[in-house]
């Protein structure tokens, strides 16, 4: 059987650039060499595409970037995509996870892993996704949107403390602050506005637990289909800080403890899995996503927080770990994601483009 040429696309111009490099290393290390011929393509911080000659990234992010820049050459996206059978975007944040790259790949007529243009855009925008999920009946914490810093204080008073201040379209906890006192509000608002021109104020839970569930598959496949949509077991993140910050995720080896499976009642775990699948469908997901929830430690109440359409693929990331503990190891997970990409491309190819 002819090997499929898979472009692993990493880097990008978002604040999550470095995280992407670590995720790409995991994908390259676990892709099945008997079935796929991977090619690493690095988008540098200025947005230039570079075809890399190095096979694997180094363990250290800074060193990885130096290796990529030294062992790659600038190339046009069209030149890269012309050689691919499918693309595995491992891009986190704006200009990669938000539907922009997905739109480019749609125009190029290439199969690609993960959610489509709409699903990617909805998953990235915390405000729009919350609006849709509320309409669909999912439990969502009270929130409000801020477009100008001077509007933040009166809106925050309506929500009350504690609250979280977040860029509306960013991931990996970049730009997020927890506000416990009124004096902390404006510094948090200004920090969030560094990364987006729309921010979200969200009511905090006094004693929260962070529960996550991984989703994989075709949301419209029939029951029994090998690629039907499924939810993993649940996991829990115990952060050694006020919340699961960027530093706790990627810079501090002791920043958090991942518990898989989560130590929650089976009834609660079942509800979380059902909510994860519902949110995935409501937000037009396809292929993969990680659904994040907050659970009140005191009474067990659960709220849907957000859907990550290109979840981290690092060695410590929850998404591949949840599937490993659910019986799907990382090589099998990557192969299934590529199969899903090819299935969607075949379905799109059958559509008429003229009356």
User: Would you name the residues annotated as active-site residues?
Assistant: 16, 172, 250, 290, 292, 306, 308, 312
Closest CA to 87 of 3, 5, 12: 5
Strands, sheet with 49-52, edge to edge from the N-terminal-most edge strand: 72-74, 49-52, 36-43, 4-11, 86-89
Report the C-alpha gap between 141 and 305 in whole angstroms.
8
Question: Burial level of 149, CB count in 10 A (0-12/13-18/19+)?
Answer: middle
Say which residue the tokens 């483009």 belong to. Answer: 353
184 - beta bridge partners? none
SS3 track for the chain: CCCEEEEEEEECCCCCHHHHHHHHHHHHHHCCCCCEEEEEEEECCCCCEEEECCCCCCCCHHHHHHHHHHCEEECCHHHHHCCCCEEEECCCCCCCCCCHHHHHHHHHCCCECCCCHHHHHHHHCHHHHHHHHHHCCCCCCCEEEECCHHHHHHHHHHHCCCEEEEECCCCCCCCCEEECCHHHHHHHHHHHHCCCCCEEEEECCCCEEEEEEEEEEECCCCCCCCCECEEEEEEEEEECCCCCCHHHHHHCCCCEEEECCCCCCHHHHHHHHHHHHHHHHHCCCCEEEEEEEEEECCCCCEEEEEEECCCCCCCCCHHHHHHHHCCCCHHHHHHHHHHHHHHHHHHHHCCCCCC
Q: Tokens for 50?
A: 């570079």
């Amino acid at each position: 059987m002819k090997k499929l040429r898979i472009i692993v696309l990493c880097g990008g111009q978002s604040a999550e650039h470095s995280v992407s490099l670590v995720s790409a290393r995991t994908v390259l290390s676990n892709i099945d060499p008997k079935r796929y011929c991977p090619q690493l393509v690095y988008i540098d911080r200025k947005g230039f595409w570079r075809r890399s000659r190095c096979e694997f990234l180094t363990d250290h992010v800074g060193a990885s970037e130096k290796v990529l820049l030294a062992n790659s050459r600038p190339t046009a996206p069209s030149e890269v995509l012309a050689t691919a059978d499918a693309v595995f975007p491992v891009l986190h944040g704006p200009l990669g996870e938000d539907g922009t790259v997905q739109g480019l790949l749609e125009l190029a007529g290439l199969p690609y892993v993960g959610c489509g243009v709409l699903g990617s855009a909805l998953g990235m925008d915390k405000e729009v996704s919350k609006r849709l999920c509320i309409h669909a009946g999912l439990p969502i914490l009270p929130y409000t949107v801020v477009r100008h810093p001077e509007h933040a204080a009166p809106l925050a008073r309506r929500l009350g403390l504690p609250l979280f201040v977040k860029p509306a379209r960013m991931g990996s906890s970049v730009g997020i602050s927890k506000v416990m006192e009124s004096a902390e509000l404006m510094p948090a608002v200004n920090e969030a506005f560094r990364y987006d021109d729309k921010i979200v104020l969200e009511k905090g839970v006094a004693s929260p637990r962070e529960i996550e569930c991984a989703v994989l598959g075709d949301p419209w496949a029939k029951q029994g289909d090998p690629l039907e949509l499924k939810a993993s077991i649940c996991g829990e993140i115990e952060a050694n800080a006020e919340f699961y910050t960027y530093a706790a995720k990627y810079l501090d080896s002791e920043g958090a403890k991942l518990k898989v499976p989560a130590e929650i009642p089976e009834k609660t775990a079942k509800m979380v899995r059902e909510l994860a699948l519902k949110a995935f469908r409501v937000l037009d997901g396809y292929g993969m996503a990680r659904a994040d929830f907050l659970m009140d430690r005191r009474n067990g109440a659960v709220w849907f927080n957000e859907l990550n359409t290109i979840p981290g693929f690092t060695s410590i990331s929850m998404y591949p770990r949840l599937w490993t503990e659910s019986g799907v190891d990382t090589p099998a997970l990557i192969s299934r994601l590529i199969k899903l990409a090819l299935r969607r491309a075949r379905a799109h190819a059958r559509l008429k483009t003229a009356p």
